[in-house]
Amino acid sequence: MKTSDFYFDLPQELIAQDPLEDRSSSRLLVLDKKNGDIEHHIFRDIVDFLNPGDCLVVNNTKVIPARLFGVKEGTQAKIELLLLKRKEHDIWETLVKPGKKARVGTRILFGDGLLTGEVIDVVEEGNRLIRFHYEGIFEEILDQLGQMPLPPYITHQLKDKNRYQTVYAKHDGSAAAPTAGLHFTPELLKKIEEKGVNIAHVTLHVGLGTFRPVKVEDVTQHHMHSEFFFIEEDQAELINETKKQGGRVISVGTTSCRTLESAAAEDGRVKACSGWTDIFIYPGYRFKTIDALITNFHLPESTLLMLVSALAGKEHIMHAYEVAVKERYRFFSFGDAMFIR
């Protein structure tokens, strides 16, 4: 299976630069994974496609303002930092630009010294391990100095930080939003629950590895970065009970999907657990737990496009994307959604 099999032509103007005022008013392409049939709706119509007894599984990770701008101590050279993974209490794996200015021993000052970082190691792919020094609470300082780590294809400034956050975000730790969840409003979630649909919460802290381009032509040779996830006992029970009663497990986003599939036994039962996952789902994968998926439209040749192709079939997905381009759907993080049922 080749990476180039997942290429499609996407006009630049279809990349959504700003979130819609009403989260639930984005468009929704509904794809039947059995026969490839397509319908066009508005996202809030998702209620009509959910049945009493189904379980919607959302990722309640919270994006941290992980982009920091500082200066190198001594030279005052500008340095940009992106927090990727917390390794220990005050030690983070980071992406530093420009990397050549951040050798081991380099000290970087943020906010006139409110926060200081010291490069203590260079790890895989040139990422830097940085130990931070500060007075007070790290999260509060980060909130004051950091910016939301928007993907590189979004060039507009985000006016409201909360628009790159789901309404149910709870646990700090992501370097990117689980974007399929951005379409839900509290009102829509209430309607869904009133219909008799359960909502289960899992947590996967999204790393940038999810969005790394596939640089090998043979898909199977691509290496996924690991991301931390956890599932609480009561949430695992809710998901398993849904399966037992014949309801569908509907994943909101590829991150929830990867969490469930990482924690599932061969019989589809999900166990309460925590750990790191580097699961890579591409066509040929047999899904153990999820029955349907709500997702955004993904980049050409990306691992996310491969994941949705594994669920609905590559032909169905590539055709649906062709239709989405023709119908002028909005793509990527702030774009429209797809429901694969």
pLDDT at 211: 65
Distance between CA atoms of residues 25 and 238, nearest Å = 29
pLDDT at 237: 98
Distance between CA atoms of residues 195 and 213, nearest Å = 40
Does the pLDDT value for residue 258 go beyond 90? yes
* Vertex 325: Cα angle to 322 and 331 (nearest 5): 120
pLDDT at 150: 85
Q: What is the pTM of this model?
A: 0.90
Question: What kind and span of H or E run contains 314?
Answer: helix 314-326
* Residues in Cβ contact with 258 at an 8 Å cutoff, skipping those fewer than 6 apart: 204, 227, 229, 277, 279, 281, 307
Does the pLDDT value for residue 154 go beyond 70? yes
Average pLDDT score over the chain = 94
Does the pLDDT value for residue 118 go beyond 80? yes
- Dihedral angle computed from the Cα positions of residues 43, 49, 51 and 57, in that order, rounded to the nearest 10 degrees: -50
Average pLDDT in the 177-186 region?
A: 96
Half-sphere exposure of 281 (CA within 13 A, CB side): 26
Task: Summarize pLDDT for 43-62 with one digit per residue, the tens.
Answer: 999 999 999 999 999 999 99
Average pLDDT in the 292-311 region?
A: 96
Distance between CA atoms of residues 122 and 286, nearest Å = 37
Does the pLDDT value for residue 209 go beyond 80? no
Average pLDDT in the 16-24 region?
A: 94
- Check the CA dihedral 48-52-54-56 and report its sign: positive
Nearest to 87 by CA among 128, 57, 47: 128
What whole-number percentage of the chain has pLDDT above 70? 99
Instruction: Tell me the pLDDT band of 74, cut-offs 50, 70 and 90.
Output: confident
Distance between CA atoms of residues 180 and 196, nearest Å = 21
Tell me if 206 sits within 8 A of 164, measured CB to CB.
Answer: no
Average pLDDT in the 239-263 region?
A: 97
